[in-house]
């Protein structure tokens, strides 16, 4: 392990919040029992919030952000991991209360790590990252939970909001691979062709759902994945058919939800909250093993931007303004 390596350090002194790329030593890393040489990390919406001002999630400074990463175990005092193991980390509040992946080396609890499946490489694992794991959880909840766990009707017609984003675009592809007719919702009409390429049968503009919802509307969807919240989610709930599952995982539009009990008590619609941060290791391992079957990386690569750690500081404000699309991955070797 190198004595000196590069990391993005957040600091706060009173009202002064700073972000700097610094050279640090391994004794700076203070958490966990497994040291990982980080190959890739991701830039997620939550990362951008943390980079802006800590988002009330970071409790101590200085801090290394980055809520996900993939890499190779350098040193381990954990029974399940040894030097050379290829691993993935998402969630567990790493990058929030624990040092994260915006560093060439990371030290974390081995209880937070998943062994990378053989059918993915480290770059592909982080093209998926937190967004991919969340999309997997949403997609399996919307389709498999209804069909297999609840022994319900087949899920055919589904809608995905925020389909131009990281979670949304991957959910479109996964649900298509799972045999659904996917309607993608996006505020960017210019992305229609790409969304159809990755599996959307239909594409509609967000404006069609960004209006006051009726208590119940005409039923269109057997299930849904919502990444934005607010009025879009209100309308999706009102338009979901009997026993449909709406997997909700985001609040990019609004944290508020003004709805009625009607979809739930008249149609038996289920609003299923998705939180990938504390999903069990057993569930994570299952989903990561399924990921390679549900993603066409050759196509997904078209929406991937690979950046350096230095570029993160300029790009995160654009993500917060909704001016980015697709998945940003950070190559820690750049």
Residue spans per domain, the chain = 4-116+298-331, 130-273
Q: Quick check: 221 and 241 in contact, CB under 8 A?
A: yes
109-to-1, 68, 76, 105 alpha-carbon distances in Å? 18, 13, 10, 14
Q: Quick check: 235 and 211 in contact, CB under 8 A?
A: yes
Confidence category of residue 12, pLDDT binned at 50, 70, 90:
very high
Which stretch of DSSP H or E encloses residue 283?
Answer: helix 281-294
- Classify domain 130-273 by CATH architecture: 3-Layer(aba) Sandwich (3.40)
DSSP bridge partners of 13: 16
Mean pLDDT over 283-308 rounds to: 92
Confidence category of residue 331, pLDDT binned at 50, 70, 90:
very high
- Per-residue pLDDT at 252: 79
> Does 62 score more than 80 pLDDT?
yes
- Per-residue pLDDT at 1: 61
- Per-residue pLDDT at 303: 81
> Does 300 score more than 90 pLDDT?
no
pLDDT digits (tens, 9 = 90+) for 192-234: 999 999 999 999 999 999 999 999 999 999 999 999 999 999 9
Question: Which DSSP letter does residue 30 get?
Answer: -
Mean pLDDT over 48-61 rounds to: 94
pLDDT digits (tens, 9 = 90+) for 65-96: 999 999 999 999 999 999 999 999 999 999 99
- Per-residue pLDDT at 234: 97
| Cα torsion through 163, 212, 255, 18, rounded to 10 | 70
Mean pLDDT over 243-247 rounds to: 97
- Per-residue pLDDT at 14: 85
> 270-283: b or e for each residue (b if 16 or more CB lie within 10 Å)?
bbbebebeebeeee
Q: Is there a common fold for 4-116+298-331 and 130-273?
A: no
pLDDT digits (tens, 9 = 90+) for 38-50: 999 999 989 999 9
Mean pLDDT over 14-24 rounds to: 93
What is the CATH number assigned to the segment(s) 4-116+298-331?
3.90.180.10
45 or 180, which is more confident:
180
Share of the chain above pLDDT 90, in %: 87
Instruction: Single out the residue of 211, 217, 218 nearest to residue 253, CA to CA.
Output: 211
Instruction: Single out the residue of 54, 66, 45 nearest to residue 228, CA to CA.
Output: 45
Question: What distance in Å separates the CA atoms of residue 119 and residue 262, rounded to the nearest whole number?
Answer: 44
pLDDT digits (tens, 9 = 90+) for 162-175: 998 889 999 999 99
pLDDT digits (tens, 9 = 90+) for 103-161: 999 999 999 999 999 999 999 999 999 999 999 999 999 999 999 988 889 999 999 99
Residue located via tokens 């087949």: 154
Give 8-11's long-range contacts (Cβ < 8 A, gap of 24+). 8/64, 8/65, 8/66, 8/102, 8/103, 8/309, 8/312, 8/313, 9/62, 9/63, 9/64, 10/50, 10/51, 10/54, 10/58, 10/61, 10/62, 10/63, 10/64, 10/65, 11/61, 11/62, 11/63
- Per-residue pLDDT at 296: 92
- Per-residue pLDDT at 171: 96
Mean residue pLDDT of the chain comes to 95
- Per-residue pLDDT at 244: 97
> Does 326 score more than 80 pLDDT?
no
Half-sphere exposure of 93 (CA within 13 A, CB side): 10
């Amino acid at each position: 392990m190198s004595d000196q390596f590069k990391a993005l350090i957040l600091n706060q002194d009173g009202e002064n919040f700073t972000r700097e790329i610094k050279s640090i030593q391994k004794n700076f890393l203070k958490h966990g029992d497994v040291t990982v040489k980080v190959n890739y990390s991701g830039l997620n919406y939550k990362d951008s919030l943390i980079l802006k001002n800590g988002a009330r999630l970071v409790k101590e400074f200085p801090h290394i952000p980055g809520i996900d990463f993939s890499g190779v175990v350098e040193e381990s005092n954990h029974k399940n991991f040894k030097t050379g193991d290829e691993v993935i980390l998402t969630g567990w509040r790493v990058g929030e209360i624990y040092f994260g992946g915006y560093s060439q080396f990371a030290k974390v609890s081995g209880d937070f790590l998943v062994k990378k499946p053989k059918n993915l490489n480290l770059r592909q694992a982080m093209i998926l990252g937190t967004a991919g794991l969340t999309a997997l959880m949403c997609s399996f909840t919307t389709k498999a939970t209804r069909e297999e766990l609840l022994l319900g009707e087949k899920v055919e017609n589904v809608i995905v909001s925020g389909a131009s984003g990281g979670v949304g675009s991957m959910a479109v592809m996964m649900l298509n691979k799972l045999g659904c007719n996917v309607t993608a919702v996006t505020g960017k009409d210019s992305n229609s062709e790409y969304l159809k390429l990755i599996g959307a049968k239909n594409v509609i503009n967000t404006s069609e759902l960004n209006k006051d919802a009726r208590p119940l509307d005409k039923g269109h969807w057997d299930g849904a994945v919502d990444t934005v919240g607010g009025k879009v989610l209100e309308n999706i709930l009102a338009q979901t058919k009997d026993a449909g599952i709406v997997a909700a995982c985001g609040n990019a539009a609004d944290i508020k939800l003004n709805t009625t009990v009607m979809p739930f008590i008249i149609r038996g619609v289920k609003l299923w909250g998705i939180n990938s941060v504390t999903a069990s290791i057993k569930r994570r391992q299952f989903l990561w093993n399924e990921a390679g079957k549900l993603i066409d990386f050759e196509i997904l690569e078209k929406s991937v931007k690979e950046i350096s750690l230095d570029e993160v500081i300029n790009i995160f404000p654009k993500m917060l303004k909704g001016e980015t699309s697709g998945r940003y991955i950070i190559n820690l070797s750049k």
